[in-house]
Structure 1
């Protein structure tokens, strides 16, 4: 790759986000290669980058003219300057985030290409050692329309904010495949999930709500099923995620003085005493990203769930990448009898398990399917 190519700014060399879905594989691959060459060496000593640039500038004979030396220095300076440009870094982060978020919609014939593109994009995104304030400036608005049994639709509009690329806890800034699949299924078969038989003034709590798609869907779906008033509490731990969630609630319930969905910060490892045994139903979609998460989630659910309540947990099956196998810990957390939470002589257990297929155009490239668990006190 030439030094000229190395110094192309992302804002002028990357294919526009709006054209990504139809961009040829070669174009996307080339763009990723440029970004990898430009930014991944940031974690190495600067002397390494300088030595590499000088090496590339040498001619085959081993000698370089004065002009060539000056060209090498100019190229080196341009490269260092470009790497330090916060606008270009933020642009690259937004572009990579959008590419990963829309990977399943790319018009690619080879699924191996899709998997490789997602892996390369995630690798480059993780190479950024810090984020800039501009990273949050641009977001992606997504519209969902889920059909209901009465020939209606539940329409949701979400703001998907870019990921920082450095903090795994901010994954809730985006709507992941599991929440989309589950929201669609709830609207299609509400009775299957007991959504048409809530007692008066029931409480629903979503754990790790993220953008709030599940809670927002429930907020619009439940009034079409029954007259009972249900309080929906969408919870998350990450402050930035909660801010985005509140924006999404305001967007979807613009004329409500008191929207049916409220938000609250909730740490699974320290659930608040005020919410003990308060939830008639719990929901959590694709929330396990570290081995300890599953145990925290189980014990938090035990604290919140009423004796006759139901906990619906959907986890994403991933077979590649850094989250490979981690979702399996969700089921493993309920396998050892001696470790299960107890309440009034009952234990919190998985009573039903269902496999859900991945749908084309939904979810990320590393998602292979979903597992839905029904969890109750038995």
Structure 2
């Protein structure tokens, strides 16, 4: 088991920062990033080879003792020391840069090798980001993360920055205020293979229509943002209209969702005049209104997404009723059938809740395609992720610490649709 040291022990002494190499300084920053800016737990799929990008998602320390990590992370003195250390590092780097640019001192005079100046700007940016986290939002119970997804061949890249906020007085209904591993897994899969999720389009198609996308229980908005940013990068969608509607129901979750959307997309994406636009809206599955729906929910959706949204016994039933109202029914054999893509974790404390998916939605093979259309499970896939990362969800939703995180991915659609 790895030994986890507090910042006061691990970091180079403040008074001697100038004597440490670039490699040592980067190692120290990577350590602080793992401590105060953790990845979402259960968000790293196990596979032979994952897409590789330069960025914080690849700078991860793996600690087997998550309890010890939480103790150090919550220690006010250690956080204060980290702030002072980062401040001193930034000041020293700025001195080196100023002297180098002014020509008042040579590299030999400073005793620093060339790589220090080559990497100085990158180190300053990373240190400044960590300083803001340690001194600001993280101290207030908030955390902001950068997410990077891409295609297997590395030709496509999507980035998003999301802020998690504390639960509303420990109200379990506000769990969407934080980013969960299921959303990370689903967003990554979508960006890697858009066609698998119905996000493909031929510009020569004479029946080109607006693509309508809905996310249920959008939470912090990661999946919806990944889709919008992905479609912006695909040439086939340059002139096709796209509408993404991210929904949730808890007031604080909705407010944070809207804030994350606004922080990540150009203002034009929120305007009806744009060919690609994204909106947020209230949607309570438990009480679908009989009144006319708002404009953004008044049309049928081609693709619906849900990540980690089954954690009560009634959820699967409510979601089925919601899909009946919003998922486009088959009407034209030349158009790809609509589908609902659902990713749920298999938590030991929520085995019954997870099982309701397969009791509410039958398998396609068990339904006569000549009968009236019903929503069925078209496919099912198991996904395994490493458990390392921020453990905030483990205490509120019962996932065991230090174990792999298992997910199920369901594709659900109408029984009489062309498959």
Q: Indicate the residue corresponding to 2:288 in structure 1.
A: 271
Tell me the equivalent position of 2:265: 253
Cα displacement (A) at 1:304 = 0.6
CA contact 2:380–2:409 (8 Å) conserved in 1: yes
In structure 1, C-alpha distance between the alignment counterparts of 2:390 and 2:288, rounded to whole Å: 30
Q: CA deviation at 1:336?
A: 9.3
Within a 5 Å distance, the mapping from 1:211-230 to structure 2 comes to 211-225=220-234, 226-227=236-237, 228-230=240-242
Comparing 205-214 with 253-262, which one deviates more in the overlay? 253-262
Q: Name the residue aligned to 1:359.
A: 386
Partner residue in 1 for 2:340: 311
For structure 2, the residue ranges without an aligned partner over 5 or more in a row are: 7-35, 43-59, 71-136, 203-207, 272-276, 330-336
Distance in 2, matches of 1:377 and 1:257, equals 31
- Contact 1:135-1:162 at 8 Å conserved across structures: no
Give TM-score scaled by structure 1 length. Answer: 0.61
Distance of 2:389 and 2:170 partners within structure 1: 24
- Once the two structures are superposed, the pairs formed by residues 142-221 of structure 1 within 5 Å of their partners are 142-148=145-151, 149=153, 151-164=155-168, 166-197=170-201, 199-221=208-230
**Cα distance in 2, alignment partners of residues 138 and 114 from structure 1:** 18
> Where do 5+ consecutive residues of structure 1 fail to align?
1-20, 25-97, 119-133
- Which residue number corresponds to residue 96 of structure 2? none
Q: Aligned with 2:168: secondary structure?
A: coil
RMSD of aligned residue pairs (Cα, Å) = 3.5
How far did 1:114 drift? 4.1
Q: Are the counterparts in 2 of residues 283 and 312 from structure 1 also a CA contact under 8 Å?
A: yes
Instruction: State the TM-score, normalized to the length of structure 2.
Output: 0.56
1:289-344 alpha-carbon deviations (Å, 9 max, x no partner): 2101111011111111011311111111112x4x344222222221399xx9x999
Distance 1:326 1:115 in 2: 27
Give the distance between the partners of 1:249 and 1:212, measured in 2 at CA.
7
Q: What is the alpha-carbon distance in structure 1 between the residues aligned to residue 370 and residue 323 of structure 2?
A: 12
**Corresponding pairs, count:** 264
Q: 1:40 matched to which residue of 2? A: none
Aligned to 2:24: none
Pick closer, same or farther for the CA change 1:102–1:373 going to 2, 3 Å. Answer: closer
Cα separation, 2, equivalents of 1:263 and 1:187: 21
* Residue number among 283, 307, 314 corresponding to 1:285 in the alignment: 307
Q: Secondary structure of the equivalent of 1:175?
A: coil
